[in-house]
Amino acid sequence: MKKFSTRLIDWHDKYGRQDLPWQTGKSPYKVWISEIMLQQTQVTTVIPYFNKFLLRFPNIEKLAESELDEVMSYWSGLGYYSRARNLYKAALEITCKHKSKLPNSYNELVALPGIGKTTAGAILALGFQKKAAILDGNVKRVLTRHRKIETDLSKSSTLKKLWKLSELLLPDVRIDTYTQAIMDLGAIVCKKKSPLCEICPVNKDCLALKANLVDCLPVKRKIKTKTTKHVHWLIPYSHKGRFLLQKRLNKGLWEGLWVFIEKEKEEMLKKECKSIFQIKDPSLIQIKKVKHSFSHFNLEAIPYLVKIKEKKSIKNTVWVDSKNIESLGIPSPVKKTIKEIRVP
């Protein structure tokens, strides 16, 4: 029987994904951008964002020369915005310390903001054709099933075992093809649900398949029920039909993005009207409730409109309309709400 890596490479040559946008004119930079975007995000979702991002930021120099606000605007809707912030920070660091070129050593890569072991391994293997292991969700699933690893993925001992196995299986040749192959195998064949074991290139020695445990692996601790965060949004609007957004300065999910003024209670919004806009008795108009699901919690927001005069001196705010909404870093629930508002 051929080696595990050889079978995967042979399979990928026939059936693997070979026309993804980051595979065309492959470069370490393209691999880096794609790997960051693909973290906890589906390939089909990433492709249009990747293409648009690369048109505006074709290299590290262009990315580092830009402003964070603009980078965030190109990330708007993709979620997990800390990825974009770290990407920008890393570009600045690469420009200063590495002459605008991605380093090709593991230690230098993991020292950059937002780059962990798997991302570093992917950049080395796919971008530089250097022997390096990865352990993303697809690879974890392939390895735990193939070797029938029945311990919980959340345990450090399990991850340590999987890293060791991932490194052990690396081939000496065509490391880039093998790396793409094992990711593709997990995405196309060894799927989370309804895996296609009958066409798997490594099914002959898959221990989980022999033990009829494929659907039981990998073992993951039960995910806690999502909590719901209830908030109130203040949406100031002007006679011009424009809306006032505030830059989120505090740490958190939407740090650095343009959002509505957010408070826990309606009364707190009225206080904001008095302190920021000098409106003594604000007339708030409640509109349709906004619901949005994040990976770890659900959001329910009750938006309130309030008409104010446009002022230029309010710190960390910006007036938006349909013309400039796409040029700013605005989270999708906020952007969607603005587009749906019908001003009284």
Task: Give catalytic residue positions.
Answer: 35
DSSP alpha helices (H): ranges in 206-258? 207-210
Cβ–Cβ under 8 Å, residues 334 and 260: yes
Asked if 329 contacts 76 with a C-beta cutoff of 8 angstroms, the reply is yes
The rounded distance, in Å, linking the Cα atoms of 138 and 184 is 8
For residues 38, 44, 48, 51, the Cα torsion angle rounded to the nearest 10 degrees is: 60
Two tokens at 53?
Answer: 């991002």
Question: Phi and psi for 123 in degrees, rounded to 5?
Answer: -65, -45
Q: Which two tokens stand for residue 102?
A: 């991605």
Closest to 215 (Cα-Cα) out of 136, 139, 145, 138: 145
* C-alpha–C-alpha distance, residues 258 and 274, integer Å: 21
Residue whose entry in the numeric block shows the structure tokens 């093998």: 178
Residue 122's contacts (CB-CB under 8 Å, 6 or more residues apart) are 31, 35, 132, 134, 136, 179
Q: What is the DSSP letter of 293?
A: E
H or E segment and range at residue 247: strand 243-247
